[in-house]
Amino acid sequence: MTLTKAKMTNILKSDDEKKATALFKEAYKVKLANIGNKAYFRGIIEFSNICTKNCYYCGIRKDNKNVNRYTMTHDEIVDSAIWAYKNNYGSIVLQSGERNDKQYIDFVSNVLRDIVQQTDGKLGITISLGEQTPDTYQHWFDIGAHRYLLRIETSDMDLYKKLHPADHSFNYRVECLKSLREIGYQVGTGVMMGLPYQTYESMANDVLFFKEIDIDMIGMGPYIVHHDTPLNNTVDNSPEANKRRFTLGLKMIALARLTMPNINIAATTALQSLHPLGREYGLQAGANIIMPNITPRNYRPNYLLYENKPCTDENANDCIKCLENRISMVGESIGYNQWGDSPHYFERKHKQV
């Protein structure tokens, strides 16, 4: 479907709840027609909150001194991956703060190697480890990671500058997305919605940006305040503002689905932070990926990118059961033991041959 920038801007701006419901229904129909009603799991392991960067919105930014920094051990990470495999998750995501030193790169390489070996290469592996050199991306790909998530955060260069210190580069992030694609990863990106200074038109442009770079996967969610961050003072954190961010989150999923019918779209945890059934609503607005948190419970309170992150006191076993019920409640089934790759990725690969 062709949605113009003006049309998308109006949809995002509108307060009409009936129109929003109709939009979600339309997007859900497009999802069913193109990729069916299966939701795929990516068990996310947030293995380290050490970060060398200073994004103004993020709770684990380098200069936040109120964070207990941790890195899970090699064995803890591999055990979590094996747990996901044994529990039929199909895929995992390894995520951390950004580091570019050799010790970290080697650590990740060894973890990846061990996970591939111990799961006979049958577990899908997504990584979300920030900006790295093309050589590092290639190295991790060669070991067996095959999807990469790197949010552009906003496609608006001026807004990007307001949200990051001067040494963070929008252009380099775009270069990273390009090199990931050249290497052969399924590439995912995304943005936050409801950021300070962000306009509706800017979010409409985000959808056009995803389409333009021909992305395979999207993981995006509402911006949520973290008080120990520089952005804190500039933000309206009222219940009304957060409700608006939540609705924007759903609308952006729907617009992305209508524009890109066969990509993978995640119903992210940030949606759940703003509404207990946020992820289920996300599935009904066109998303098809759920990322249950399988980080060992003792580490979770220290991976607070934002406040009120859900499931910080549940363990992975509880989460599976509650998720299963909640997903079937909205008429979706879970693609257990399947990678659930982005159909769009195979389509574009096929076109290249």
User: What does the binding site for ligand SAH look like in residue numbers (CB under 6 A)?
Assistant: 57-58, 95, 97-98, 128, 130, 150-151, 153, 192, 221, 223-224, 226, 270, 305-306
Task: Tell which residue, 289, 290, 296, has the closest CA to residue 312.
Answer: 296
CA-CA distance, 306 to 69, in Å (whole number)? 15
Using the rule CB under 6 A, is 58 a contact of ligand SF4? yes
Judge whether 148 and 176 are in contact, CB under 8 Å: no
Using CB under 6 A as the criterion, what x/- string covers residues 219-248 for binding ligand SF4? ------------------------------
CA-CA distance, 142 to 63, in Å (whole number)? 34
Which of 12, 39, 55, 256 binds ligand SF4 (CB under 6 A)? It is 55
CA-CA distance, 57 to 50, in Å (whole number)? 16
In terms of CB distance, is 27 or 192 closer to ligand SF4?
192
Using the rule CB under 6 A, is 26 a contact of ligand SF4? no
Shortest distance, position 125 Cβ to ligand SF4, whole Å: 19
Using the rule CB under 6 A, is 42 a contact of ligand SF4? no
Judge whether 249 and 287 are in contact, CB under 8 Å: no
Judge whether 55 and 47 are in contact, CB under 8 Å: no
In terms of CB distance, is 20 or 150 closer to ligand SAH?
150
Judged by beta carbon distances under 5 to 8 A according to partner kind, the member of ligand SAH, ligand SF4, none in contact with residue 258 is none
Shortest distance, position 288 Cβ to ligand SAH, whole Å: 20
Which of 98, 114, 201, 228 binds ligand SF4 (CB under 6 A)? It is 98
Q: Which residues make Cβ contacts (< 8 Å) with residue 204, sequence separation at least 6?
A: 5, 6, 8, 9, 12, 255
In terms of CB distance, is 143 or 150 closer to ligand SF4?
150
Using the rule CB under 6 A, is 127 a contact of ligand SF4? no
3-state secondary structure at position 106: helix
Judged by beta carbon distances under 5 to 8 A according to partner kind, the member of ligand SF4, ligand SAH, none in contact with residue 92 is none
Using CB under 6 A as the criterion, what x/- string covers residues 279-308 for binding ligand SF4? --------------------------x---
Residues 129-148 that bind ligand SF4 (CB under 6 A): 130
In terms of CB distance, is 97 or 335 closer to ligand SAH?
97
Q: Which residues is 193 bridged to in the sheet? A: 222
Judge whether 50 and 74 are in contact, CB under 8 Å: no
CA-CA distance, 325 to 346, in Å (whole number)? 31
The two tokens of residue 249 are 């989150």
Q: Which residues make Cβ contacts (< 8 Å) with residue 61, sequence separation at least 6?
A: 51, 53, 54, 55, 229
The two tokens of residue 94 are 């390894």
How many residues in the shown chain lie near ligand SF4 by CB under 6 A? Answer: 10
In terms of CB distance, is 90 or 130 closer to ligand SAH?
130
Q: Residue with structure tokens 């389409």?
A: 211
Give the binding site for ligand SF4 (CB under 6 A).
51, 53, 55, 58, 60-61, 97-98, 130, 305
